[in-house]
Amino acid sequence: MQSAVCPGSFDPMHNGHVEIIARAANLFDEVVVAVSANMHKTPMFSLEERIEMAGETFSYLRGVTIRPLRPGVLLTDFCKEVGASAVVKGLRGAHDLPYEASMATMNRHLTSLETVFLSADGRYSHLSSTLVKEVHSLGGEVAEFIPRAVQKRLTDAGYRGHTR
């Protein structure tokens, strides 16, 4: 069985993430969505909330599981723990490649873990979690860019900004 890990902080998850993970699910028998804490950012949602939203979002996809990626754990160790032979990363454009390529090279050097890059669908290549948070916090409408589970939490809880 071929399995892969799609890592990220997913804070919040947006439709670009969903599209990449859904495509990965067509390529691998199992896809583990590894939800991590990003030490360099202040989260909008707790790790538990992000795991719950990812679970709701991917409940329809067979072979997709959601797991926390604990702080201080190397991605390569996490992949070994879950039996994954590859990491799947989405690329929004050429600007993402240098950073992601160096990470992929290091991962391959450490453990022979391969990285599969998927180019983002043009409808989502402009999206980032940071941009979604910023637009939302300034009162902009982001519903068309995020899964229902995220929109529901933004609306129900009135997270850090305005909702419409």
Report the pLDDT value the prediction gives residue 40, as an integer from 0 to 100: 75
Annotation marks residue 41 as catalytic? yes
Annotation marks residue 92 as catalytic? yes
Report the pLDDT value the prediction gives residue 156, as an integer from 0 to 100: 79
The pLDDT tens digits of the residues spanning 60-84 come to 999 999 999 998 899 999 999 999 9
Annotation marks residue 162 as catalytic? no
pLDDT at 164 over 50: no
Report the pLDDT value the prediction gives residue 48, as an integer from 0 to 100: 95
Over the chain, what is the mean pLDDT? 92
Report the pLDDT value the prediction gives residue 162, as an integer from 0 to 100: 37
Overall average pLDDT of the 129-144 stretch? 93
Domains and CATH numbers, the chain: 3-124 (3.40.50.620)
Q: Of 39 and 110, which is predicted with more confidence? A: 110
- The catalytic residue among 129, 133, 136, 153 is 129
* Sheet of strand 86-91: strand arrangement: 64-69, 30-36, 3-8, 86-91, 114-119
- The catalytic residue among 92, 133, 136, 153 is 92
Task: Output 51-57 pairs: Cβ under 8 A, ≥24 positions apart.
Answer: 52/149, 53/10, 53/12, 53/13, 53/147, 53/149, 53/150, 53/153, 54/10, 54/13, 54/149, 56/147, 56/148, 56/149, 57/13, 57/18, 57/147, 57/148, 57/149, 57/150
pLDDT at 163 over 70: no
